[in-house]
Amino acid sequence: MNIKSNETSHQLTEEFSTQLPIWKLLAFTVAGFLTIMTETMPAGLLPQISQGLHISEAYAGQLIAVYALGSVLAAIPLISLTRSWNRRPLLLSAIAGLLLFNAITALSNDYTLTLIARFIAGMAAGVIWGLLAGYVRRMVSTSYQGRALAIAGVGQPIALSIGVPLGAWLGTLFEWRGVFWIMSLLALILFVWIRFSIPDFAGQSAQKRLPILKVLLMPGIRAVLAVVFLWILAHSILYTYISPFLASTGHTYKVETILFIFGISSIVGILITGMFIDRSLRKITLLSLFLFAIATALLGVYSSSSFVVLAGVVLWGVTFGGAPTLLQTALANTAGHQADVAQSMLVTVFNLAIAFGGMIGGGLLESFGAASFSWFMLAFALIGLFTVYHARKHGFISS
C-alpha cells in the first residue's frame, strides 16, 4: 500500500514538474479574478447598496475600503502563523471564507455586520494572494515557473478592467444582493475545483522557518518590495483618477472604453511577460519599467493628441500588465524557502501603494490638477528603474 502511494506521489511530481498543467493553473487564475472582483464590484453597485442598507453612497463605498484593509492587516500575520499548515487546506479555508462572508454580505441588513463581513472577506483574500505565487511555482519545474505565474496572474487585469462594469450590469439583473450570491457560487465552484484537481503541498518545517524581520532583511527583499511600492504607486495615481485625467485632456473618451483598452493591453502584457520571464527576468523588468516611464511621459507631454493618449494607454497597459508577475517572481526567487511570507509582504506593500496612490493623486488633483499626474508617475517609475538596475546581485539578479 505504501509502495503504491509512493509511486502515485512520484507520478504526480513528474506530471507537475515537466509541463504546464493549464487546467490546474486556471484555478488560480479564477482565484485571482474572484478576489479582485469581490473587492471592486461594489463600486458599480453603490446606489443599490446605499438604498438597501439605508446609508449614503459615501458609506457604501467603505465596503471597498474595509476589504482592502482586511487584506493589508491580515496577510503577513496569517501567512506567518500558518507556515506549518499544508497548503491546500489553508487555501481552501481562505476560499471558504470568501464563500461564507460574501453570503453574509448578501443576507445582511445591518451596515456594521456588512462591514465586518467585508473585512473578513478581505482577510481571506490576503491569504489567497499570499499563497498564490508560492503554490503555483511548486506545481511546475524551475524553467516553467514564470510562465505558470503569468497564467495564474491573468485573472487580476481581467477583474480590474471589467469588475466594476460587470458588477453594475449584474446588479441590473439580480440586484446587489444577487451579485454577492453569484460571488459565493463562484467561490463554491472554485473550492470544489481546487479540492479535487490541485495537489497538496506540505507546509514549512520548523527548521526552515525564519522570523518575519529576518525574511525582510534577506538580501534583495527590500529592493523588490521598494520597486513594488514605487511601480504600483505610480500606476494607482492615474488609475484611481482616470476620469478627471481624461477630462483634463479635452477628449471625449468614455472612461469605460479607456479602462477596457487598458485591460486588454494588460492581458497582452502578461502574455508577453510569460514568454520571456523564465529566461530574462531582469531584462524584461528593466524594459517594462522603462517603457512604462515612456508611457507616462507621452501622457504628460502630448495629452492634447487623442492618438497619443490612446497609444499611451495601450503602452501603459502592456508594460504594467506583467508587473505583478515580474515582481512576484523576483520576490519568490529572492526569498527561496521563505517565499510565502515574502509574498504576504508583497500583498501588504501592494495594497498600501494603492492607498497612497489614491491619497497622493487626490492631493495632486486638488493642488495642481490632473495634468500633474504624469510627472509624478514618471519620477516614481524612474526611481523604480534605478532600484532594479542596482539590484543586479540580489533581487533582480543578472543571468
Q: Where are the domains of the chain?
A: 2-197, 212-390
- Would you place residue 69 in the very low, low, confident or very high pLDDT band (cuts 50, 70, 90)? confident
Q: What is the pLDDT of residue 7?
A: 41
Query: What rounded mean pLDDT belongs to the chain?
Result: 86
Nearest to 332 by CA among 133, 165, 97, 85: 133
Residue whose C-alpha cell is 472612461: 255
Mean per-residue pLDDT for 112-129? 93
Cell of 322: 506583467
Q: What is the pLDDT of residue 206?
A: 67
What SS3 state is found at 82? Answer: coil
Mean per-residue pLDDT for 209-232? 90
Write out pLDDT tens, residues 346-383: 988 988 888 888 888 888 888 888 888 999 999 999 99
The domain at 2-197 falls in which architecture? Up-down Bundle (1.20)
In angstroms, the CA 198 to CA 108 distance is 33
In angstroms, the CA 32 to CA 106 distance is 21
Cell of 206: 520548523
Sign of CA dihedral 118, 124, 126, 128: negative
In angstroms, the CA 137 to CA 225 distance is 19
In angstroms, the CA 333 to CA 269 distance is 21
Mean per-residue pLDDT for 335-349? 85
Domains 2-197 and 212-390 are alike in CATH topology? yes
Q: Which of 81-85, 180-184, 210-214, 353-357 has the highest mean pLDDT?
A: 180-184
Cell of 262: 487598458
Q: Maximum Cα–Cα distance for the chain, whole Å?
A: 72
Residues in CB range of 213: below 8 A, 6 or more apart: none
- Would you place residue 205 in the very low, low, confident or very high pLDDT band (cuts 50, 70, 90)? confident
Write out pLDDT tens, residues 143-175: 888 888 888 888 887 887 677 778 878 888 999
Task: Give ∠ CA 230-236-239 in degrees, rounded to 5.
Answer: 145
Right CATH number for 212-390 from 1.10.3720.10, 1.20.120.10, 1.20.1250.20, 3.50.40.10? 1.20.1250.20
